[in-house]
Structures are given as C-alpha cells and as structure tokens.
Amino acid sequence: MPSIAIVTCQNIPEPDNDESLMLDVCRASGIDVELVPWEDAVVDWSRFDLVALRSTWNYYEFEASFRNWIDSVSKVSTLCNGRDLILWNLDKHYLDELRDLGIPVVPTRYLSSPSELQKALMEEGWTEFVIKPTVSAGSYMTKRFGIDQVGEAEAFLSEILNDRGAMVQKFMSRVADGGEIALIHIDGELTHGIIKEPRFHGGEESVSAAVTPNEEQSDLAKCVLETVREPWLYARVDLMISDEGQWVLSELELIEPSLFFVQNPVALDRYVEGLKRWATKG
C-alpha cells in the first residue's frame, strides 16, 4: 500500500471543494493517504512514497520558503508534479517562453517600474488592461483598469513591485460572455472543461458544470502541453477568447490548480490511479 502525502497549506485562503472526495477515493483504492501542510516543519517527508501537491494555495506569499521546500522534498521523496516543472511554472514569465515557441498567449508585458506602464499601454494600444504579480495564485493582487485610471494603476503596480515582479495584460473583453475555459488533463488525457467567470482581487471563484471542449480549444491545449518536456500527472490549460475570436493561452497550471473533480468524478478516478503508479515507479 503506497503512502502518499496530499499537500495543502496551514491557512488555506479558500475551501478546496475536491478535498474530501479526493481523500475518500484515495482511501477506498488502498492508498495510505495523509493531508499535510507544506509549511509543517516537523514532517518527515521521506516517509512518504509520493508527495502530491494539491492546495498549496498560499505559496506566492512565501515564495523563497516554498522554493526551498520543493528542493528539500525532492531529495527525499517523489514530487508530483516534479520539482523542475514546479519551479519553472512558479513565475508567469513562462508565458514568454511559450509565446516564443509559437503558442498564442494573452498579450502580456512585464514591468519593472510603474513608469513603464503608460509607455507599454501606448505601444500596445490597450484601453482596458489587467495588472497582476508574476508569482501569484487565485486572484491575488489582480485588478482590471481602464485607460482613464492610469494613475491608480501605477499606484497599484508600485504596491506589487515592492516585493515581487509584475505584469500587465490586455483585458480580454469576451471573458464575461463565457470566453474563458479551463481544460483539465489527467495522466495524458483531456478529461473535461470548466467555463470560468472573470475573477479579480477579493473575488470568489465561479465555475460551470463540466463541459466538453471544442476542437479548437482541445487542439490548442494539446499544442501547449506538447511543449512540456518533463513528466506530469495533472495539468490545467486555461484559455481565453480574443476580440478577434481566437482562443489564446491565459495560464498553464502545473503546480496546484483546482481540477474540479466534483464536476467529473471520472477524472478523479484517473488521478488516483496515476498517484498509485507515480508512488511505485521508483
């Protein structure tokens, strides 16, 4: 019977709707499973065959500590997903790498000073835009602005830049009309999609029932995942539709994304079988 740590955090910022169901299915399948916060300094991670990240949703607040924890655990146990993939996916500069590989992404600029914002907006011609940190989760420090709010946006940007990198993206106006979808992949297979409502700082997540992605969406997600050279058990590819009607990559989630197992328990069964294989593959 494999021993698996399902990793969460001590002060979870919002409930993990999948947690109870996931633990029940793991135990029913013969897994010795334990829910463990990543910050717990007394845990002996070497006693687990597999350490599976699920709801480490405060990692962006303690980035250096989280990176050190990933490094230390990877030396004594198997991480899922793996160390290199997690560290690469931590910072949203990965979007630049994927764009250079030919993946269409939400138009993005990275900023190191508030004074760069107005120039970036003029060069891009954006009249509505979103500012967020390059390392974040959920809707943390993510706000939408209009071109008449540049002063307010610069102040917000300065607040972010006090302790982390920042980015500005074009606001995709069609997301409010069902123009954002998360494609969940488990163990190499697209299992289902979830329509997402726009979410900003302080907002709650609002999602649909499970949906079947269309061909354009699934083909783009496949192209995105073909760029990933490290093994993965789970991946979520978030897409938005542009004003021109083209689906583009918003985020590639490989660390701790919600996988919406409540909406599709079949995906959970596949995930649990994958956990058992990862835990025993050595």
Per-residue pLDDT of 128-178, as tens digits, reads 999 999 999 878 889 999 999 999 999 999 999 999 999 999 999 888 776
Lowest mean pLDDT, pick from 94-108, 172-186, 196-210, 232-246? 196-210
Residues 63 and 193 in one domain: no
Is the pLDDT at 201 greater than 70? The verdict is: no
- Residue 197's CATH number: 3.30.470.20
- Residue 154's CATH number: 3.30.1490.20
d(CA 276, CA 221): 26
Q: 207 falls in which pLDDT band (50, 70, 90)?
A: confident
Decide if 165 is inside a domain.
Answer: yes
Decide if 258 is inside a domain.
Answer: no
d(CA 106, CA 254): 18
Average of pLDDT values for 98-126?
Answer: 97
Q: End-to-end CA distance of the chain, in Å?
A: 14
- Choose the final residue of a domain: 140, 171, 202: 171
- Choose the final residue of a domain: 123, 155, 171: 171
Average of pLDDT values for 39-48?
Answer: 97
Longest dimension (CA), the chain: 60
Cβ atoms of 13 and 57 within 8 Å: the answer is yes
User: Domain span at residue 227?
Assistant: 94-103+174-253
Secondary structure class of 258 (helix, strand, coil): coil
Q: What is the pLDDT of residue 202?
A: 52
The tally of domains found in the chain comes to 3
Residues 15 and 53 in one domain: yes
Decide if 138 is inside a domain.
Answer: yes
pLDDT, the chain, mean: 94
Q: What is the pLDDT of residue 159?
A: 96
Q: 14 falls in which pLDDT band (50, 70, 90)?
A: confident
The full DSSP string for 113-146 is SGGGHHHHHHHHT-SEEEEEESS--TTTT-EEEE
Q: What is the pLDDT of residue 198?
A: 62
Residues 99 and 197 in one domain: yes
Residues 99 and 118 in one domain: no
- Residue 44's CATH number: 3.40.50
Q: What is the pLDDT of residue 208?
A: 72
- Choose the final residue of a domain: 171, 201, 223: 171
Decide if 154 is inside a domain.
Answer: yes
Average of pLDDT values for 123-132?
Answer: 96
**CA dihedral sign, ordered 112, 118, 123, 126:** positive
